[in-house]
Amino acid sequence: MKNIMYHSTRNNEVRLSASKAVLKGLADDGGLFVPDELPKLDISFEKLSDMDYKGVAYEVMKLFLTDYTEDELKYCIEHAYDAKFDTEEIAPLTYADGVYYLELFHGATIAFKDMALSILPYLMTTAAKKNDLKEEIVILTATSGDTGKAALAGFADVPGTRIAVFYPKNGVSPVQEKQMVTQKGKNVKVIGIKGNFDDAQTGVKKMFNDSALKDELKEKGFVFSSANSINIGRLVPQVVYYVYSYTRLLKNGKLSEKDKINFTVPTGNFGNILAAYYAKQLGVPVGRLICASNSNRVLTDFFMTGRYDRTKEMDLASGNFESERKFMLTESPSMDILISSNLERLVYLALGSDDKKDAALMKDLNEKGFYELDDNAKSFLKDFEYGFADEEKTSAKIKALYEDTGYVIDTHTAVASAVYDDYKKRSGDETVTVIASTASPYKFAKSVMSAIDAANKDREDFALIDDLKEISGTELPQAIKDIKEADVLHDTVCEISEMPSEVKAFLGV
């Protein structure tokens, strides 16, 4: 098997093994680690169709994480995809109204972040052992709501690690917040910031690039790493379920090997859909990748024009960037993001792996608030379809799907589903389509139940959870039972500028 090394999107020269890239999270130059080349599957789809989730996970992950031994990787996979998931299928498909919903929310914290964050702690502690790491690993995490809890659940009381999570104090759902602030564990810290997700992510990235801070902490025996999808150890496990879902449809005769498959993904930081793109490069016959945004439609504007602009919004009629782009708080908070970090990995490929150009564009984004691709790079984006759904469209979709089929989806999934409806209408494309269903409706019970019946807007979250159980006929997830009674253990709130001092206080330095 080919040995795959990783390098920064902003410097092709610095090359690291997979396990070192997992440990480091983000490159010192602020770039993201990417594989020197994207691997190809070396096993038939027929064989993969006969494997369970863990089997497929091994066949996919071994291609990317080549310096992990077979035993190491299988150990990580065994411990990740176990009874923490409430179904042996791990990621089941549900058919409703002409599309397949790939349910990625059957893990411990009922959002798709569990798919990768249940394995990342194993990948990281294995990497620490392999590389003789002396320091304790400090996971710094910015969250728009779901990564935080999934990372906390994964890393709580894992020896040799500590984890600090920063979330936008007024930018997450009540269930998301309660899940985080009730987290137990001797090595965990949860901090609300007076800012939005982009502020949290930028603050964390700054700490990663602060060499004085890093030196100081190294002396005290600590190194930073990341549990965000900027870490290649998050991205690689996410490729698995795209391969898995395709092989399930083959196995059940819903597709033949001649057919293509489309994926529609509700997108924020561009991690999940990038994993689908990697699955395509592995050899899955993907037709269209449909990138769905909510009202924070910076990605829609980007795919339409090749201009990524976090400060100005495209005028839908003229295509010009004229009005100020405002950060909007929506009912799909995990997608309330204007700086989609993982897009840099796609842009890097669009630039023909030109690290200098990539670094220059990211500098533009930082300093001017936008960058623009040239025509050559723009043409690289043609694999992608795109669109956005505003609040009204999103809740109308939840209601219509429930009334037509009885199936209840969460707000993020509904954004994707509404965008897919638009795509299908304008293209007439009949290709079998899978929508990534990224969260359990229980996690956003208030928004979901209010979409179905506006009278629910004034009712209590937990009363609505009981009603949701009633109307959907699904079981109450353990994650919801757990927070009903749990005590609040974290109440720190800080200014953006205080993030480093909060980390130091947490570490006792």
Ligand X SMILES: *Cc1c(COP(=O)(O)O)cnc(C)c1O
What is the contact surface with ligand X in residues (CB under 6 A)?
111-113, 146, 229, 266-272, 334-335, 412, 438-439
DSSP symbol at 439: B
Of the candidates 58, 79, 82, 84, the residue with the CA atom closest to the CA atom of residue 69: 58
Provide, rounded to whole angstroms, the least separation between the CB of residue 180 and ligand X: 13
Residue among 96 and 175 whose Cβ is closer to ligand X: 175
Q: Please say whether the beta carbons of 444 and 468 come within 8 A.
A: no
Q: Where are the alpha helices (DSSP H) in 144-258?
A: 146-155, 174-181, 197-208, 211-219, 232-251
Is 25 strand, coil or helix? coil
E strands present in 71-111: 93-96, 99-103
Spacing of C-alpha 363 from chain mean position: 24
Provide, rounded to whole angstroms, the least separation between the CB of residue 186 and ligand X: 26
Q: Which residues contact 45 (CB under 8 A, 6 or more apart)?
A: 246, 247, 250, 257
Provide, rounded to whole angstroms, the least separation between the CB of residue 267 and ligand X: 4
Provide, rounded to whole angstroms, the least separation between the CB of residue 162 and ligand X: 23
Provide, rounded to whole angstroms, the least separation between the CB of residue 146 and ligand X: 3
In a 13 Å sphere around the CA of 118, the CA atoms on its Cβ side amount to: 26
Residue among 217 and 408 whose Cβ is closer to ligand X: 408
Q: Please say whether the beta carbons of 245 and 60 come within 8 A.
A: no
Residue among 334 and 456 whose Cβ is closer to ligand X: 334
Among the listed residues 113, 280, 399, 443, the single catalytic one is 113
Provide, rounded to whole angstroms, the least separation between the CB of residue 414 and ligand X: 11
- Separation of alpha carbons 273 and 288, rounded Å: 11
Positive or negative: CA dihedral 119, 124, 126, 127: positive
CA dist 22 → 32, 34, 169, 229 (Å): 11, 11, 29, 11
Is 128 strand, coil or helix? helix
Is 5 strand, coil or helix? coil
- The CA-based angle 85-152-210, given to 5 degrees, is 140
Residue among 125 and 334 whose Cβ is closer to ligand X: 334
DSSP symbol at 142: E
Residue among 8 and 440 whose Cβ is closer to ligand X: 440
Residue among 245 and 438 whose Cβ is closer to ligand X: 438
Residue among 222 and 442 whose Cβ is closer to ligand X: 442
- The CA-based angle 34-40-41, given to 5 degrees, is 125
Provide, rounded to whole angstroms, the least separation between the CB of residue 364 and ligand X: 22
Provide, rounded to whole angstroms, the least separation between the CB of residue 418 and ligand X: 14
For residue 62, give the amino acid letter: K
Provide, rounded to whole angstroms, the least separation between the CB of residue 105 and ligand X: 8
Residue among 35 and 145 whose Cβ is closer to ligand X: 145
- Is 393 labeled as catalytic in the residue annotation? no
Of the candidates 65, 85, 87, the residue with the CA atom closest to the CA atom of residue 76: 65
Beta-bridged to residue 290, according to DSSP, are 264, 385
Provide, rounded to whole angstroms, the least separation between the CB of residue 17 and ligand X: 25
Instruction: Quickly tell me which residue has 């220059």 as its tokens.
Output: 360
Residue among 273 and 284 whose Cβ is closer to ligand X: 273
Phi and psi at residue 421, in whole multiples of 5°?
-55, -45
CA max distance for the chain? 61
Residue among 9 and 334 whose Cβ is closer to ligand X: 334
In a 13 Å sphere around the CA of 11, the CA atoms on its Cβ side amount to: 10
In a 13 Å sphere around the CA of 76, the CA atoms on its Cβ side amount to: 27
Of the candidates 496, 504, 505, 488, the residue with the CA atom closest to the CA atom of residue 180: 488
Provide the Cα torsion 334, 336, 338, 340; round to 10°.
Answer: 10
For residue 450, give the amino acid letter: S
Catalytic sites, residue numbers: 113
